[in-house]
Amino acid sequence: EDKVVQSPLSLVVHEGDTVTLNCSYEVTNFRSLLWYKQEKKAPTFLFMLTSSGIEKKSGRLSSILDKKELFSILNITATQTGDSAVYLCAVELYIQGAQKLVFGQGTRLTINP
Amino acid sequence: DTGVSQDPRHKITKRGQNVTFRCDPISEHNRLYWYRQTLGQGPEFLTYFQNEAQLEKSRLLSDRFSAERPKGSFSTLEIQRTEQGDSAMYLCASNPGQKTYGYTFGSGTRLTVV
């Protein structure tokens, strides 16, 4: 069975701290790994990773994928209260010409002022 | 506005009633997905359509659930004889097709079964 596991499930830090969120996976027919941020409703796209070892960056957020060890990390530096959200990791599977996402449980990140 | 619209935003229903949700994807996206998300969990895949064809259904989707996308545009998800365990957020996402990663999610319909 395809499985995506995120850790920690919950994290509380102070504004300005750096955080690292983890995502490991065990799937067949891997195509890509995606990170989403979910505040109240719709998950919003952050990154898509397909190749090992290539860091993707967007402002204070960065992410990298290790396809040999089957995990990814999402780093947030100089955290702000607006970074408080649930961060979802999803693996895109490609099966017989079709693709879909399998999600982890999410990491609830709380940034205290 | 995320581009994927879902209606209604909230639905409260009594156990045993039928409910129907609607999703309008981004117009040029030929793939449409339904996911269910319960409190503290990530979204779980329910079903997906390519144009009007329903190509995959999760085993989570019992025979009380049915989804349609009659003209390859909007989709409906119906739950018959609702149970308290159906209470969840139902998310719709659309995607333009192969070789892209553009999964855009709607804001969801929150269902509460009382």
Chain mean position to CA B55: 14
Look at A1-10, B6-15, B22-31, B96-105 and tell me which has the smallest mean pLDDT. Answer: B96-105
The answer for B 28-67 residues in CB contact with A (under 8 A) is 31, 33, 35, 40-45, 48, 50, 55-56
DSSP string, A95-109: ETTEEEEEE---EEE
Q: Are the beta carbons of A97 and B101 separated by less than 8 Å?
A: no
At residue B96, the pLDDT reads 85
Under 8 Å CB pairs connecting chains A and B tally to: 58
* Long-range contacts, stretch A52-56, CB < 8 angstroms, 24+ apart: none
A4 touching chain B per CB within 8 A: yes
At residue B2, the pLDDT reads 53
Distance CA B33, CA A92 (A): 13
C-alpha distances in angstroms, B31 versus B28, B73, B92? Answer: 9, 9, 11
* Band of residue B35 on the pLDDT scale cut at 50, 70, 90: very high
Mean pLDDT of B35-56: 92
Q: Tell me which chain A residues have a C-beta less than 8 angstroms from the C-beta of B33.
A: 100-101
- Asked whether residue B1 carries a pLDDT value surpassing 60, the answer given is no
* Band of residue B99 on the pLDDT scale cut at 50, 70, 90: low
Chain position carrying tokens 């955080």: A19
At residue A13, the pLDDT reads 97
β-strand B109-113 against B10-13: which pairing, if any? parallel
Question: What residue of B is the nearest CA neighbor of A5?
Answer: B42
* Band of residue B98 on the pLDDT scale cut at 50, 70, 90: low
Which of A99, A105, A108, A109 would you mutate first to test chain B, the one with the most B CBs within 10 A? A99
At residue B100, the pLDDT reads 61
C-alpha distances in angstroms, B89 versus A109, B2, B9, B12? Answer: 20, 17, 9, 12
β-strand A107-112 against A10-14: which pairing, if any? parallel
Ranges A51-55, A93-97, B78-82, most confident = B78-82
Encoding tokens for residue A98? 């079709």
β-strand A107-112 against A85-95: which pairing, if any? antiparallel
User: How far does chain B reach from its first CA to its final CA, in angstroms?
Assistant: 30
Q: Residues, chain B, total? A: 114
